[in-house]
Amino acid sequence: MSKEIKTIKTIQSVHRALDILEYLVTKGDGEKLAAIAENCGLNKTTAFHLIKTLELRGYLEQSPDSLYYKTGGKMFELSLKAYQNINLNVYCQPYMEKLVEEFNETVGLYHFAKINGHTQSLCTLCMESTLPVKVSFTLGKWTPLSCTAYGKLYLSRLNGQALEDALAQDECPEPLRPARDILNLQFSEARKNSYVIEREEYEEGVVNIAVPIYKYTGRVIAALCTAVPVQRAENSRLENIVRVMRKMSAELSAIPL
């Protein structure tokens, strides 16, 4: 007998309010009521009442000069608190500082979390190289899984339907998505070695080295990633970076997260 799938009822007005917030965050410099309503698929009256509610709570504010609405101080306050509450950032910071000090390459911490119902990776902490030619990571940017070093680490620990669902929902652009047989081989290597070296798959001219951070259950919850421009990616140098990062991976994974 097949198990009946329950449909969870969601609140339409909450979706609409969040659509407005997400739209205005991407706009940056704000937008007028009519444009907000049009881009969020709302009539002006509905948009007006939602905006005024968000404005009252401090999530939006209106410029007295241009009459544009933009994100308010409450958004910044909550974002800062959320960032500070990521304990793994605190644990990882000294390790990342050591990596930059030793190799002078950009290092990022990537968390795995769900957005719009499926898992992606999110950079929550970054420390950049001081060299003229370097790689930059973008804090708060969601990135795909199957074409990134850190994403492959996450996927390699899934199996069966969980893996199939994650690959089906992955937002990796088709030209960058590796063939399935290649992915299977990469997953196998990632499980065996506990690191991934990704060579210019996601970004031209960049070699990424990622190691996992495990929860006590064995689930990959985050990854450290060192990004090396190809002109400095000699095999001996990559091997040295991997050696140091694998030790860090073991130490961070031993923390009861």
* Helices and strands per DSSP (H, E), number in the chain: 9, 8
Average the pLDDT over 190-217 and give the result: 95
Residue 81 has pLDDT above 70, yes or no: no
Average the pLDDT over 241-251 and give the result: 97
Of the ranges 136-140, 178-182, 205-209, which one carries the lowest mean pLDDT score?
136-140
Q: Is the dihedral of CA 98, 100, 104, 105 positive or negative?
A: positive
Interval 83-97: pLDDT, tens: 555 678 889 999 999
What proportion of the chain, given as a percentage, has pLDDT over 70?
93
Mean pLDDT of the chain: 89
The residue among 63 and 154 whose pLDDT is bigger is 154
Average the pLDDT over 123-127 and give the result: 93
Residue 167 has pLDDT above 80, yes or no: yes
CA distances to 31, 151, 158, 169, 212 from 165, in Å: 37, 14, 10, 6, 21
Interval 210-240: pLDDT, tens: 999 998 888 899 999 999 999 999 999 999 9
Contact status, residue 124 vs residue 109, Cβ threshold 8 Å: yes
State the pLDDT confidence band at 149, using cuts at 50, 70 and 90: very high
Residue 2 has pLDDT above 80, yes or no: no
Model pTM above 0.75 = no
Q: What residue ranges define each of the domains in the chain, with the CATH number in brackets?
A: 12-78 (1.10.10.10), 86-253 (3.30.450.40)
How would DSSP label each residue in 117-157?
TEEEEEEEEEE---SSS-----TT-EE-STTSHHHHHHHHT
- How do beta strands 118-127 and 220-229 pair? unpaired
State the pLDDT confidence band at 51, using cuts at 50, 70 and 90: very high
Whole-number Å distance between alpha carbons of 138 and 11: 32
Strands across the sheet with 220-229, in order? 142-143, 118-127, 106-115, 220-229, 206-214, 196-199
CA distances to 57, 63, 115 from 142, in Å: 27, 30, 9
CA distances to 37, 46, 54 from 24, in Å: 11, 16, 12
Task: Give the per-residue pLDDT at 89.
Answer: 87
Angle at 101 between CA 100 and CA 104, to 5 degrees: 50
Residue 27 has pLDDT above 90, yes or no: no
Whole-number Å distance between alpha carbons of 123 and 140: 5
Average the pLDDT over 30-48 and give the result: 93
Q: Count of residues for the chain?
A: 257
